[in-house]
Amino acid sequence: MLHLISASPVPPAVLERIDPGSSVVFLENAVLWILRDGRLYDRLAGMLADHHLYALSADLLMRGIEADRIVEGIEVIDYQGLVELTVAHPLIQSWN
């Protein structure tokens, strides 16, 4: 399943509902919550073992966040990558 998270702040309860093996894309203001020095660092770093985590490059750029400031292991993708993920996952859940 593909989860699109745009909620800010990112509720920890949302992260708990995401099954292992799922893909998660952080977009819009949710990218503010994936910083290496952020409150969700431990949770996100732990999720990387059995989830695929992504951040939309345009939303990072719009907020002045360099890719090296986000949790290591979160892949930065462009809109084409987002489209590819939506095609690859027939089930999509949006969290706003």
Note the pLDDT tens digit of each residue in 20-75.
999 999 999 999 999 999 999 999 999 999 999 999 999 999 999 999 999 999 99
Average pLDDT for 66-86: 98
The residues with which 75 forms a beta bridge, in sequence order, are 54
Cβ atoms within 10 Å of 50's Cβ, excluding its own: 11
Cβ atoms 26, 43 nearer than 8 A? no
Residue 9 has what DSSP assignment?
S
CA angle 49-45-85, nearest 5°?
65
State the pLDDT at residue 81: 98
State the pLDDT at residue 5: 98
Cβ atoms within 10 Å of 1's Cβ, excluding its own: 13
State the pLDDT at residue 41: 96
